[in-house]
Structure 1
């Protein structure tokens, strides 16, 4: 079965633990690609695994930190991951083989499992950079995100819409999410970016240790992007969520989506979905970004690829389809 590792192989890798030591030889190991440890993707993956591992279905789930949504698409393609969390636009782009996946072709076997939290493309700038609008970032030191991350792909898409080359900034960095806050507080960058659910730990850290303001992502080019790309929606970062930012700040957003491939065992997908939805109230308490999740939205909102048959089986069993 693609992507599944049985305990015998893992035992060898972990130092020779033998099957005779009360280990179930039929146990399946499943891996979920997440994101940086400061982001909601990581919390989501860890939370899903928490309920899968408690369900007693002979499935052991792990959710390591990864490069983010683009890296998770590539991990699904290669079989490194059984599941991956990604922005709704990346699911669409993978399905249709468009940038940044144009060299890999259509991924017609990508499948939706359910959507998660709403996400907002977020730019935070040092107050002394005097940048509260997107155009005011020109000439500044900006972190556009690490390769393979959702924020980098989105930032590059916005730059393309605006006709910007990297040279419009005095410095372009590709720091990982966990590195951004310290870089801002050390005055090594003027602005950081993140496509993430709120509240977010990295944004909270940066705005606590540095006088910083959220940058409005608006303008005619953004309006055109929203009109052309249905997977993006208007979004707002609520005022008062972060120190020094009392007012709502507009931007663009989308949904985080748990994806897999058509080849993933339907029973495995069914058991994962069941373990989450049977415990949805408890799941929602594991991060503030999950507070507004609902069964109806999770089955529909932001899903730009067909549902996996294992997920459909559970939703029909519950009478939701």
Structure 2
């Protein structure tokens, strides 16, 4: 078994229950992630593992929660149904502004730190006749579950073309764990992910389902960045999946760990410290974390103001003046 998979398995199995003899007085902090086959879930498991290793020092036990993804995490953190969440910065920006999927500003949301870049990743069956995003119209597509960044991003790109769901003969709302299999079974022609790479779900779709990655046109990237400053032009390294696969033009956005403003300052400080003081260990827990650098994880522009507890740690660590 690969070393990183051993780390990951430990994160997911132990994070909510690590060191079960903990004091009954420990404070439980819930962290909303995503579907179990996506990258938010192992990222949350890795964060919780590091927090829980020092819980006798700070009295916090971190527990991972699987959720539909970014939009749901933002809504649940705002509603105090979750203490922390992982969300892509574009949806966090919309939540603060009260736009897009958010009818009112969620003004209490705060940034703890950024993680990896998430890429808009379109996957289509090779026999579908889909060569570009424009070819999706009239095909069977998956838009993802309600509350996912996947659905919000796809709808934004569709609206820019004047498309509606009525332009597709079949529209599926599949959970992330179902999407690759739906491609393999021929139930859908294409799906869109917002995900960090390398991704097990993308690998499965390309390897087992005779599928391929599609580039976004420059106009698509401009649509996203024009609506939201946290989307930017990126090139996905196809070499993650096949030695002969080159770079694919797309858009990217940073995954961000968020809380509410009223999360106690000492708790935010302890959570951030647990990760950043063990960042080399975190990098080993998944290949997508390998390139993370502490400076890039705190630099702006931020989609939401930084929590005072996080800011205090970063200043003490010399990462922010």
TM-score by length of 1: 0.89
Which residue in the other structure is 2:101 paired with? 100
CA distance in 1, matches of 2:159, 2:273: 41
CA distance in 1, matches of 2:68, 2:161: 26
In structure 2, the CA distance between the partners of 1:261 and 1:187, relative to structure 1 (3 Å rule), is same
Distance 1:111 1:162, change over 3 A: same
1:139-288 paired onto structure 2 within 5 Å: 139-243=138-242, 246-288=245-287
- The total of aligned residue pairs comes to 299
CA distance in 1, matches of 2:37, 2:95: 25
Matches within 5 A, 1:65-84: 65-84=66-85
Question: Counterpart of 1:6?
Answer: none
Given the superposition, is the C-alpha separation of residues 23 and 204 from structure 1 closer, same or farther in structure 2, using an over 3 Å criterion?
closer
Q: How far is 1:320 from its partner?
A: 2.1
Aligned partners of 1:276 and 1:256: how far apart in 2? Answer: 15
User: What is the Cα deviation at residue 234 of structure 1?
Assistant: 0.7
What is the distance in 1 between the residues matched to 2:292 and 2:21? 39
Deviations 1:216-248 (A, max 9, x none): 111435424323421110112212322597122
Deviation (angstroms), 1:316: 1.2
- Maintained 8 Å contact 1:162/1:221: no
SS at match of 1:319: coil
Counterpart of 1:8 in structure 2 is: none
Q: Report the secondary structure of 1:147's partner residue.
A: coil
Distance change (3 Å), C-alpha of 1:222 and 1:317: closer
Mapped pair 1:133 → 2:132: yes
Alpha carbon RMSD of aligned pairs, Å?
1.6
Q: Distance in 2 between matches of 1:250 and 1:272?
A: 35
Greater CA drift, 131-140 or 225-234: 225-234
Name segments (4+ residues, structure 1) moved above 4 Å: none
- Secondary structure in structure 2 of the residue aligned to 1:80: coil
- Mapped contact 2:93–2:228 kept (Cα < 8 A): no
Q: Secondary structure at the match of 2:147?
A: coil
Map 1:38-77; keep pairs closer than 5 Å: 38-55=37-54, 56=56, 57-77=58-78
Shift of 1:155: 0.5
231-240 vs 279-288, greater mean Cα deviation? 231-240
State the alpha-carbon separation in 1 of the partners of residues 292 and 22 from structure 2: 36
Tell me by how many angstroms 1:26 deviates. Answer: 2.4
| CA distance in structure 1 between the partners assigned to 2:309 and 2:129 by the alignment | 51
For 1:298, the equivalent position in structure 2 comes to: 297
For 2:284 and 2:276, how far apart are their aligned partners in 1? Answer: 13
1:310 aligns with 2:304: no
